[in-house]
């Protein structure tokens, strides 16, 4: 499954680790380019998950049109293939309006899927999935992650033990096909002539980013993250596995249901978010299509947007 080639080449991308300022810079860039934003984020898809995902608010979305935000209820699941299909449709409609599709976000798996296409793999084996879910319940997620590590170490290295859905999918694919999922996912970049020219990721200093992450987590709790999670848990049907495992939400659920102290919960989310940002850095650094935009942390969002926008003239000169 792949984007239409002529549409893909007209897309722009700004990725980066969480809290690096890509959303604010993206809005500025969209205004410069006459663009509309397509969210490149696996959790902003969900309605009602606003505070913990740092989702653009109504004022920002009124300023610049956004797509693929609030399209699912928290109990629903959503595959990479479904995302790529929906993103391709959104990008085509934006181009037909005479505007520029601008993908903004931090989900590396989604970025790679859009740039290189998706290998669907075998159909789900629901009996096997239920068996693996029961094993995780009985022995713990770390034990199931270790099992994945024995059959697909490359995939296990990329996945957090708490990413239960993808851990189970990795084991499932190996048991069905006898081949590691990671080996089947190694899509090569498209030929240079078929790639979009404008694929960037923001690369900030680590110390600055980690300080921003810590502040953002504290702000999320002040802005009502606990109340938001309480509301989600009261909703029928309740959040599904993917939503419940989202960074920040899982820890608050443990605070509410298992009595983990609030201060410990906040510190744990900060630590895990810093770890997540490090994994995001690895994703973007290893995608050949991506060009790093080094930032210091002193730039305004407009500064960053203008730096990125100036590269369209470089690309046109090279072409």
More confident residue, 159 or 72: 72
Residue 185 has a pLDDT of: 61
- CATH number of the domain within which 226 lies: 3.40.50.300
Task: Give the side-chain half-sphere CA count within 13 A for 18.
Answer: 29
Residue 234 lies in a domain: yes
Residue 313 has a pLDDT of: 72
Residue 87 has a pLDDT of: 97
Residue 179 has a pLDDT of: 85
Q: What is the pLDDT of residues 115-129, one digit of tens each?
A: 998 876 787 788 898
Residue 312 has a pLDDT of: 84
Q: What is the pLDDT of residues 90-122, one digit of tens each?
A: 999 999 999 999 999 999 999 999 999 887 678
Residue 168 lies in a domain: yes
∠ CA 239-149-285 to the nearest 5 degrees? Answer: 80
Which is nearest to 293 in space by CA: 279, 307, 274?
307
- CA-CA-CA-CA dihedral for 158, 47, 2, 181, to nearest 10: 30
Tokens (6 digits) for 62: 């009124």
Residues 82 and 142 in one domain: no
In contact, 147 and 171? CB cutoff 8 Å: yes
The average pLDDT across 263-290 equals: 96
Residues 25 and 160 in one domain: no
Looking at 154, 184, 214, the residue that finishes a domain is 184
- CA-CA-CA-CA dihedral for 182, 72, 74, 59, to nearest 10: 110
DSSP secondary structure of 128-143: HHHHHHHHHHHH-HHH
Question: Which residues contact residue 157 at a Cβ distance below 8 angstroms, ignoring those fewer than 6 apart?
Answer: 149
Domain range holding 174?
A: 126-184
Residue 193 has a pLDDT of: 80
Provide the pLDDT confidence category of residue 318 given band limits of 50, 70 and 90. very low
- CATH number of the domain within which 179 lies: 1.10.20.140
Residues 166 and 211 in one domain: no
- How many C-beta atoms surround the C-beta of residue 130 within 10 A? 11
Is residue 262 scored above 90 in pLDDT?
A: yes
Counting the structural domains of the chain, the total is 2
The average pLDDT across 181-203 equals: 82
Residues 90 and 210 in one domain: yes
Residue 232 has a pLDDT of: 97
Residue 55 has a pLDDT of: 95
Residue 191 lies in a domain: no
Residue 82 lies in a domain: yes
Question: Which residues contact residue 248 at a Cβ distance below 8 angstroms, ignoring those fewer than 6 apart?
Answer: 52, 217, 220, 225, 269, 273
Residues 113 and 173 in one domain: no
Residue 189 lies in a domain: no
On average, the pLDDT of the chain sits at 92
Is residue 315 scored above 80 in pLDDT?
A: no
Residue 258 lies in a domain: yes
Residue 123 has a pLDDT of: 77
Which is nearest to 16 in space by CA: 206, 253, 207, 201?
201
Question: Which range (17-21, 65-69, 191-195, 206-210) has the least confidence?
Answer: 191-195
Residue 169 lies in a domain: yes
The average pLDDT across 77-86 equals: 90
Residue 187 has a pLDDT of: 65
Q: What is the pLDDT of residues 9-53, one digit of tens each?
A: 999 999 999 999 999 999 999 999 999 999 999 999 999 999 999
Residue 189 has a pLDDT of: 80
Provide the pLDDT confidence category of residue 317 given band limits of 50, 70 and 90. very low
**What's the rounded Cα separation, in Å, for the pair 195 and 39?**
20
Is residue 249 scored above 90 in pLDDT?
A: yes
Q: What is the pLDDT of residues 207-225, one digit of tens each?
A: 999 999 999 999 999 999 9
Which is nearest to 283 in space by CA: 184, 145, 173, 157?
157
């Amino acid at each position: 499954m792949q984007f239409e080639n002529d549409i893909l080449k007209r897309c722009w991308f700004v990725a980066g680790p969480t809290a690096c300022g890509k959303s604010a810079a993206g809005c500025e860039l969209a205004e410069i380019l006459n663009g509309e934003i397509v969210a490149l984020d696996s959790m902003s898809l969900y309605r009602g998950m606003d505070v913990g995902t740092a989702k653009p608010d109504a004022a920002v979305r009124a300023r610049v049109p956004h797509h693929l935000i609030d399209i699912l209820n928290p109990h629903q699941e959503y595959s990479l293939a479904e995302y790529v299909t929906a993103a391709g449709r959104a990008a085509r409609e934006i181009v037909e309006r005479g505007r520029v599709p601008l993908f903004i976000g931090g989900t590396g798996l989604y970025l790679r899927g859009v740039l290189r296409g998706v290998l669907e793999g075998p159909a789900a084996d629901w009996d096997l999935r239920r068996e693996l879910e029961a094993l995780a319940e009985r022995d713990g997620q770390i034990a199931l992650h270790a099992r994945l590590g024995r059959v697909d170490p490359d995939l296990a290295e990329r996945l957090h033990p708490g990413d239960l859905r993808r851990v189970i999918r990795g084991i499932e694919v190996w048991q069905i096909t006898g081949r590691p999922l990671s080996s089947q996912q190694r899509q090569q970049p498209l030929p240079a002539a078929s790639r979009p020219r404008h694929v960037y990721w923001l690369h900030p200093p680590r110390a600055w980013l980690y300080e921003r992450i810590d502040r953002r987590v504290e702000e999320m709790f002040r802005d009502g993250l606990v109340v938001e999670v309480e509301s989600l848990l009261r909703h029928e049907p309740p959040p599904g596995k993917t939503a419940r495992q989202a960074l920040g939400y899982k820890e608050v659920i443990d605070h509410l249901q298992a009595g983990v102290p609030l201060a410990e919960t906040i510190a744990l989310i900060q630590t895990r978010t810093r770890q997540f940002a490090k994994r995001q850095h690895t994703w973007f650094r290893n995608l050949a299509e991506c060009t790093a935009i080094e930032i210091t942390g002193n730039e305004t969002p407009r500064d960053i947007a203008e730096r990125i926008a100036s590269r369209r003239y470089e690309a046109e000169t090279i072409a």
